[in-house]
Amino acid sequence: MPAKKQHPEVICRRLPFAPGIEIVRGSHVTGSFSRHIHHTFIIGLVQAGQRIINVSGETIAVSPGEFFLLNPGQVHVCRSQHATGHAYWIFSVETGTMGMVAARDPARAESPSFQYVRYVDADLSALFHACLALIELPVSDLEKQESLGFFLRTVMEKCAGQQAESHGTGEHGPAISRVCDFIGRNFSKELSLEQLAGVAHLSPYYFQRTFVRIMGISAHEYLSHFRVRKAKELLLQGGEIADVALETGFFDQSHFSRVFQKTVGMTPGRYSRINRREVDK
């Protein structure tokens, strides 16, 4: 009898006792995810299968028990090595939260940066699992906060390198930063190349080249991923798929579903059903 087909699942869960930190659990995740960035620090641990990450012209294979680490804004492509997919856990940490974790002076947050994409450390892996287990136990928020803080500090001590550069630095950096802010305020509207170039005070063709040079992805890719990120939030709040599609700037539900599945690895409906169960627990 053939084995039952396993459907991909990606479950996201915010931690009420730890603002700025989200847990993501992926299982049976297949396929390839096109060039993209995250707006948070990604600390992932592969549980099964193998994750392939292409970053800075290098192909990196991450196997079970190994970490994958990504900085905010780090352009990459990732996929599953096997048709049966792979499984992983992720801590997604906002930049401000990680800055405070890494700060030596409590009055001044820093801008840390991972120096590795793949990292192998059995002790750190055990600490990762211990932290995950403690989060599920009926213990105080203080104990959970201390465990999570200790894990994140340990990750930074072992894996941090040079401070991350902001896309707001260098020539045209402030212009591209303005465009990113503009997209964040207007993502639900139809945005044209000429409009974005006007915000940057650059010609359309020069703006295209400059945006890719500074951000690593095109303005269209940045806008699409931003819309999907907002759509995930609305779906978790109980939004209907058709309404979410329009609220986040997609042409229609069909267009939204295609882009969402390509980006997240599952349909909006399945993502909503699975993750709403987590929210309602």
- pLDDT of 3 reads 54
Backbone angles phi, psi at 99, to 5 degrees: -60, -40
Whether 153 and 199 share a structural domain:
no
Whether 184 and 208 share a structural domain:
yes
Whether 199 and 276 share a structural domain:
yes
pLDDT at 55 over 60: yes
Average pLDDT estimate for 88-93: 96
- pLDDT of 256 reads 94
Confirm if 245 and 255 have CB atoms less than 8 A apart.
Answer: yes
Sorting pLDDT into bands at 50, 70 and 90, what band is 226? Answer: very high
**DSSP assignment, residue 149?**
H
Average pLDDT, the chain: 88
Whether 58 and 18 share a structural domain:
yes
Confirm if 22 and 15 have CB atoms less than 8 A apart.
Answer: yes
Whether 87 and 128 share a structural domain:
yes
pLDDT in tens, 174-222: 899 999 999 999 999 999 989 999 999 999 888 988 998 888 889 999 9
Confirm if 23 and 13 have CB atoms less than 8 A apart.
Answer: yes
Q: Is residue 136 part of a domain?
A: yes
Angstrom distance (rounded) from CA 153 to CA 147: 10
Q: Is residue 139 part of a domain?
A: yes
Sorting pLDDT into bands at 50, 70 and 90, what band is 5? Answer: low
Average pLDDT estimate for 1-21: 81
198 CB contacts (<8 Å, ≥6 apart)? none
Whether 86 and 215 share a structural domain:
no
* Domain end point (choices 103, 133, 159): 159
Whether 147 and 212 share a structural domain:
no
Sorting pLDDT into bands at 50, 70 and 90, what band is 253? Answer: very high
- pLDDT of 161 reads 75
Which has the minimum average pLDDT: 3-17, 216-230, 251-265? Answer: 3-17
- Residue 185 belongs to what H/E stretch? helix 173-186
Confirm if 203 and 197 have CB atoms less than 8 A apart.
Answer: yes
Q: Is residue 168 part of a domain?
A: no
The domain in which residue 181 lies consists of: 173-280
pLDDT at 1 over 50: no
Structural domain count, the chain: 2
Confirm if 118 and 159 have CB atoms less than 8 A apart.
Answer: no
pLDDT top residue among 1 and 240: 240
Backbone angles phi, psi at 85, to 5 degrees: 90, -175
Which has the minimum average pLDDT: 79-93, 108-122, 229-243? Answer: 108-122
pLDDT in tens, 22-45: 999 999 998 888 889 999 999 999
Whether 111 and 248 share a structural domain:
no
HSE-CB of 32 using CA atoms within 13 angstroms = 8
Please report, for residues 37, 195, 247, the alpha-carbon distance to residue 190 in angstroms, rounded to integers and kept in the order given: 22, 10, 11
- pLDDT of 170 reads 63
Whether 150 and 203 share a structural domain:
no
For the chain, report the end-to-end CA distance as a whole number of angstroms.
35
Angstrom distance (rounded) from CA 84 to CA 89: 17
Average pLDDT estimate for 224-235: 93
pLDDT in tens, 125-183: 999 999 999 998 988 999 999 899 899 989 998 998 755 444 555 678 889 999 999 99
Rounded percentage of the chain residues whose pLDDT exceeds 70 = 90
Average pLDDT estimate for 110-122: 88
Angstrom distance (rounded) from CA 71 to CA 73: 6
* Domain end point (choices 129, 159, 189): 159
Whether 251 and 209 share a structural domain:
yes
Backbone angles phi, psi at 92, to 5 degrees: -105, 115
Whether 53 and 128 share a structural domain:
yes
CATH number for the domain spanning 149: value is 2.60.120.10
What are 246's two structure tokens? 């329009």
- Residue 13 belongs to what H/E stretch? strand 9-14
- pLDDT of 186 reads 96
pLDDT top residue among 110 and 54: 54
